[in-house]
Amino acid sequence: MTSPPPFAPGSTLADVGEFGLVGSFTTRFPQGDHVYVGPGDDAAVLRTPRGHVVVSTDVLVEGRHFRREWADARSIGRKAAAANLSDVNAMGGRAHSLTVGLAAPADLPAQWLSDLADGIAEEAGLVGASIVGGDLTTGSEVVVAVTVLGTCDQAPVLRSGARPGDVVALAGRQGWAAAGLAVLTRGFRSPRALVEAFQRPEPPYDAGAAAAVAGATAMIDVSDGLLADLAHVAEASGVALDVRRDAFALAEPMRAVGAALGVDPLRFVLGGGDDHAIAATFAADATLPDGFTVIGTVAEPGEPGPVVTVDGAAYDGPRGWTHFATSS
Amino acid sequence: MTSPPPFAPGSTLADVGEFGLVGSFTTRFPQGDHVYVGPGDDAAVLRTPRGHVVVSTDVLVEGRHFRREWADARSIGRKAAAANLSDVNAMGGRAHSLTVGLAAPADLPAQWLSDLADGIAEEAGLVGASIVGGDLTTGSEVVVAVTVLGTCDQAPVLRSGARPGDVVALAGRQGWAAAGLAVLTRGFRSPRALVEAFQRPEPPYDAGAAAAVAGATAMIDVSDGLLADLAHVAEASGVALDVRRDAFALAEPMRAVGAALGVDPLRFVLGGGDDHAIAATFAADATLPDGFTVIGTVAEPGEPGPVVTVDGAAYDGPRGWTHFATSS
């Protein structure tokens, strides 16, 4: 992955061309044993066990999901892969393959795209997944469309299985990326830990399968915002979820940012999404896998139906991203 | 698929919102029996037989791969799906599932996106494939990233298996879409048959699996241009291919356009790609499946190595698209 690039320094996408750049990718990405045909033919072909194929697609657009001045290409690639790998995680599955669709301006440095691809491959490598194919074309802005394929060793855990009496539990950092974004949008670069959390999320990749084995009744990837995503679970399961403020231990940098920006740092925790934490519900007597902390409870829905409350009351802060309602 | 749209006439993507629009898609796309979890959870889950999963991604960008003034949204959707389904076809596989990643301007009519999605589903329906998931976000231009998954009943047919002594054969229309594009770029709308061929390719979806069963030694989807794609086969197989001009029967509209534009219509055939014909090589004594016509032969590579010739000589016309070298 650190072999020298096969194109001259300063080359743009237009200089190197689609075929040249794709050719440089395909020779250096490691391919797992399950890859029967890797990049370079009309399609990739994967050997798969009988069972379930888990598949998910995410699209990231420059200026909306990332900014080139806020993170280097490798970090953006890692983040794009993480968003997808996390979706398979949230089904209780394990990712094995990714395809990468890219549109980019013709004058974009070829090295930037190469670094982006390396970042995707690097993040995929954390779970042993391979980049098996893709497509590259010109466009007026950078668009990264990643599709991930994976397997489930057991039945997938859906959003719809939460039952009254269950507990709500969370694995992974939560709110760090949102706090990092708040820092960046105000033109700051520190606390470094939070900025890095935004630039490169570290999803708890073992949590999903572990939760499935431990009998999780429902599960979701926290990507829109904790309360927003729990609302998807409440809706799909037909239940009410209540989250406790005191369940969240606020790390020092979160407190520091809250004080510096004059914001209750719990807002980042309850409304943040980019960490790709895993939220799951379990029977009250289940033994939670390592890494999960109970943050709330599941009840019968009252009026006005399936909702998410905080300490038993409606929450008036931001619950997460509402796509298209935001300008960033 | 023809149920009334769940949003008011004139609504834009921003009015309806990502969730609203995606919600309208997910309830109306038919899901095959193999779909265990369809759209709406973190990922789709597909029941699959033990064996091979075939996967391919294509990215289409507005202004480069399609223009809204040249085709309606449904046709653009059909074309986007066709490009992907054809890749599985060219491996000898059968597609069963698609994911659709979309970026689109916030002021784009919701109906346009809905029609696009219907077009994708319609084309997928031709081969019994389902749209099982996707992602929708805003961007400054329309980008459609489709990923297709399929199965192979037999070993996939790669680009690398052509052997000296084989014949080269072609299934499907070839050159019609390129002729239609030539018509459109000059501001004309007829001959209608050619314009429609560009707007909605009709790939020979049964040809790939039939060729695989008949023992095809190499196979490729003609998407970059016939000679350009045959060059991929020559390169991957380490052979020389020769194509015969007289193997192509030029249909009347092709002759008419050639005469009207003062262009040898064979240029559309040899350089055109958007029809998604299937080119395959077979042993000389193989019985070709219905729909295939012999267009050339395979030989040992001479100097300067693996090449494609026309009637034994280098060809000086356009061989196909060179991405990034074109302005359209």
φ, ψ of residue B221 to 5 degrees: the values are: -85, 125
- Please list the residues that pair with B276 across neighbouring strands: none
Residue B92 at interface with chain A, using a CB cutoff of 8 Å: no
Residue A205, both tokens? 């990749």
Question: Do A118 and A175 belong together in one domain?
Answer: no
Q: Are B121 and B1 in contact (CB under 8 A)?
A: yes
Annotated binding site of B for ATP: 134-135, 159, 223
Residues A179 and A269 in one domain: yes
Question: Do A89 and A41 belong together in one domain?
Answer: yes
Domain boundary (A98, A122, A151) is at A151
Best of B48, B324, B326, B328 to substitute, by most chain A Cβ atoms within 10 angstroms, is B324
Mean pLDDT (chain A) is: 89
Residues 112-171 (B) with a CB less than 8 A from some CB of A = 132-141, 143, 145, 147-150, 152, 156, 158-160
Range of the domain at A98: 13-151
Query: How many domains does chain A contain in total?
Result: 2
Rounded Cα distance, B89 and A216, in Å: 39
Q: Is residue B132 part of a domain?
A: yes
Q: Is A189 exposed, middle or buried (0-12, 13-18, 19+ CB in 10 A)?
A: exposed
- Output the pLDDT for position B44: 84
List of chain B residues whose C-beta atoms are within 8 Å of the C-beta of residue A63: 140
Residue A78 belongs to a domain: yes
C-alpha span between B77 and B200 (Å, rounded): 9
- Asked if A324 reaches chain B (Cβ–Cβ under 8 Å), the answer is yes
Question: Between chains, do A133 and B49 touch, taking CB under 8 Å as contact?
Answer: no
Residues A243 and A108 in one domain: no
A57, A65, A221: residue with CB nearest B101: A57
Partner residue opposite B56 with nearest CB, options A44, A86, A138: A44
| B40 falls within a domain | yes
Please tell me chain B's helix, strand, coil percentages from 3-state DSSP, rounded to the nearest 5: 30, 25, 40
Residues B207 and B99 in one domain: no
Please indicate, yes or no, whether residues A176 and A144 belong to a single structural domain of this protein. no
For chain B, what percent of residues have pLDDT higher than 70?
Answer: 94
Q: Are residues A111 and A82 in the same domain?
A: yes
Cβ-count burial B56-83 (b if 16+ within 10 Å, e if not): bbbbbbbebbbeeebbebbbbbbbbbbb
Confidence band for A321, pLDDT divided at 50, 70 and 90 = low
3-state percent helix, strand, coil for chain A, nearest multiple of 5: 30, 25, 40
State what percent of residues in chain A have pLDDT above 90. Answer: 66
For residues A198, A200, A201, A203, the Cα torsion angle rounded to the nearest 10 degrees is 180
Name the E strands within B123-166.
130-138, 143-151
User: Is residue B244 domain-resident?
Assistant: yes
Say if residue A323's pLDDT is above 80: no
Domain annotation covers residue A200:
yes
Q: Which residues contact A47 (CB under 8 A, 6 or more apart)?
A: A33, A34, A35, A36, B51, B52
Residue B125 resides in a domain: yes
Q: Which of residues 186-205 of A touch B (CB under 8 A)?
A: none
Give, for A114, the enclosing helix (H) or strand (E).
helix A110-126
User: Does A95 share its domain with A213?
Assistant: no
Are residues B182 and B137 both part of a single domain? Answer: no
A36 touches chain B (CB under 8 A): yes
pLDDT tens string A276-286: 999 999 999 99
User: Is residue B68 situated within a structural domain?
Assistant: yes
Query: Contact at 8 Å (CB) between B38 and B31?
Result: yes
- Asked whether the predicted pLDDT for residue A328 surpasses 50, the reply is no
pLDDT at A18 over 80: no
Taking only the tens place, the pLDDT of each residue in A152-163 is: 888 899 999 999
B102, B126, B151 - which closes a domain: B151
Q: pLDDT per position in chain B (328 positions), as tens?
A: 345 556 787 888 888 877 777 777 767 677 778 787 877 788 888 877 667 889 999 999 999 888 888 889 999 999 999 999 999 999 999 999 999 999 999 999 998 998 999 999 999 999 999 999 889 999 999 999 999 999 988 889 999 999 999 999 999 999 999 999 999 888 888 899 999 999 889 999 999 999 999 999 999 999 989 999 999 999 999 999 999 999 999 999 999 999 999 999 999 999 998 899 999 999 999 999 999 999 999 999 987 778 899 999 999 877 775 433 333 3
What size, in residues, is chain B? 328
Binding residues of B for Mg(2+): 42, 56-58, 87, 135, 221, 224
Q: Does residue A30 have a pLDDT over 80?
A: no
Arithmetic mean of pLDDT, A181-189: 89
- Judge: A88–B43 Cβ closer than 8 Å, yes or no: yes
pLDDT band (50, 70, 90) for residue A6: low
Say whether residue A215 is in contact with chain B using an 8 A CB cutoff: no
With 50 as the cut, is the pLDDT of residue A65 above it? Answer: yes
B129 and B214 inside one domain: no
One domain for residues B109 and B240: no
CATH code of the domain containing A101 = 3.30.1330.10
Length of chain A: 328
Place of tokens 């076809």: B89
Q: How many CA atoms lie within 13 A of A278 on its CB side?
A: 37
The CATH number that applies at residue A244 is 3.90.650.10
Q: Do A55 and B41 touch (CB under 8 A)?
A: no
Binding-site residues of A for Mg(2+) sit at: 42, 56-58, 87, 135, 221, 224
Picking from A88, A116, A151, the residue at the C-terminal end of a domain is A151
Amino acid code (one letter) for B276: H
Residue B182 lies in a domain: yes
Q: Which of A51, A137, A324 sits opposite B13 (nearest CB)?
A: A324
Whether residue A71 contacts residue A181, with contact meaning beta carbons closer than 8 Å, is answered with no
Q: Are residues A19 and A85 in the same domain?
A: yes
Does the CB of A19 have a partner CB in chain B at under 8 Å?
yes
Residues 41-80 of B with CB under 8 A from A: 41-61, 63-65
Residue environment code for A140-164, b if the CB has 16+ CB neighbours within 10 A, otherwise e: bbbbbbbbbbbbbeeebbbbbbbbe
Is A101 an 8 Å CB contact of chain B? yes
